[in-house]
Every structure is written in structure tokens, then in C-alpha cells.
Amino acid sequence: MVNKKIKLFLILSSLIFIFFTFYLGLNKNNYYTTENIVYKKIENFESYEFFSNKKISFKNISPDKKYIILNIWSSWCLPCRKEHKNLIKLRENIKVDLIGLNYKDKFENAKSFLSELGNPYDIILKDKNGLISIEIGAYGVPETYLINNINKKIIKKYLGPINEENVKEIQSLAKQ
């Protein structure tokens, strides 16, 4: 009988141990620090500046900044419209450059989109045929990436429009 109780105790305590490890493991996944760069590096690409049509290489963007934010957007994309006010809010509160990647868009439409809703971007690059976005690994528009500008690795990736919580998170991540 005593034997049985010891067995029960051992099994239950090891289960509790496993439970808490998993529980901690769950929480672990939720905060990212810059040390934990799990995502891939963005390979260098070349593109053209939106307004001036000047050729720009991704590696030469904002050389003095530690972080950059890359936002893939398009004037025809409805969620982008919804997201735009958050991007503006983000740009106002942050010292990091916000790079726009204009995805498969018509210049005129994109321009009127920006004049209507405001232009939060420091630089806008063109992705006329969508290949740059595919190379980066985008699933669709909009997508936002916080990138370590020194090694060009993605720190955090947001699929779909960013919300106010994401804005706060990006701010706190980029401060570190």
C-alpha cells in the first residue's frame, strides 16, 4: 500500500513538472528579443525609388539605423487602407525608418492613396511584378517586418494589417 502511494506521488509530481515546463515553454514563445532571431536573413535586392525612380540597393538603405521596418502595401488592398492610420501612428512615435514596398501597384493609384491618407514612409520601393515580396517570403499584402538593419535579419514578422497592439510591440522591440 505504501509502495502504491509512493508510486502515485512520483508519477503525479513528474506530471506536474512536465506541465509547468510546457506552460513556461508556451510563454517563452511569445516574447522575442533581438538575441532570439529565429527568422531568416533578407538577401539583398535592387529596386527603384517610388517617386524619383532612382535605383536603390536594399543593403544601402538607412545605413545609420540599427533597425528598419519594412511594410508591404498596395493601393488596391483593402486591409492596407485600414492599417494605414496605425502606420502613421507608428512613424510618429519611433526613430526607426519605415520602408514601404509598393506591391504590384499602379503609380497613379498609389500616389493618390498616399495623398489621401498621408505618407508615413521614409522611403518607398517598387515591387512591380511582386518578385521581391516573394523572395522575402511574403504571403500577401499587407505584411510588416521589423528588420535588424545591421545583419538584415527579420526580427518579427506581422502577417496582415498591424493593429495598435502591434504598434506598441514594435516600439518596445525597436528600443532595445
Partner 1 sequence: MISHLGSYSLIFCTIFAFLIILQSAKLIGNQSKIFPKKIYTIITLQLFFVIFSFSCLLIAFVSSDFSNITVYNNSHTEKPFFYKISGVWGNHEGSLLLWLLVLVLFLFLFILDTKNYDNKYKLLTVIFQEIIILGFLLFIIITSNPFDYIFPVPLEGLGLNPILQDPALAIHPPILYIGYVGTSLIFSSSLAAVINNTVNSEWAKQIKKWVFLSWIFLTLGIMLGSIWAYYELGWGGFWFWDPVENVSLMPWFCLTALLHTILVLEKRNALKNWTIVLSIATFSLSMSGTFLVRSGILNSIHTFANDPSRGVFILTFLFFLIFLAIIVLFIYSENDKKTSNNFNILSKETAVLVNNWFMMYFLSVVLIGTIYPIFLEVFTNEKISVGPPFYQKLMIPFLIPFFIFMSFGPRVKWINDKLKKINYTQIIVFISSLIIAYIIFTNSSVSYLFSSFLIAASIFLVLNSLRDFFSKSIQIPQKISHFSFSILILSILLNGIYSEEFNSNMKVGDELKFIDKTIKFKGINFDEKDNYKLLRGDFEVIDSGKNTLNFNPEIRIYNQPVISTSEADIKTNLFNDNFIVFTLLKDNEIFNVRYQHKPFMIWIWISIIMLAFGGTLAVIKYGK
The site for partner 1 (CB under 8 A) is made up of 4, 7-8, 11-12, 15, 19, 21-30, 36, 38, 78, 103-104, 130-131, 133-134, 138-141, 160
Closer CB to partner 1, residue 93 or residue 176? Answer: 176
Q: Please state the separation of Cα 166 from the chain's center in Å.
A: 9
Closer CB to partner 1, residue 38 or residue 150? Answer: 38
Closer CB to partner 1, residue 88 or residue 160? Answer: 160
**Minimum separation from the CB atom of position 96 to partner 1 (A):** 24
HEC string of 55-84? Answer: EEEHHHCCCCCCEEEEEEECCCCHHHHHHH
- 144 in Cβ contact with 80 (< 8 Å): no
What amino acid occupies position 69? I
* Unique residue bearing C-alpha cell 511569445: 30
Give the span between the Cα atoms of 74 and 127, in whole angstroms: 10
**Minimum separation from the CB atom of position 165 to partner 1 (A):** 13
Closer CB to partner 1, residue 30 or residue 60? Answer: 30
**Minimum separation from the CB atom of position 92 to partner 1 (A):** 27
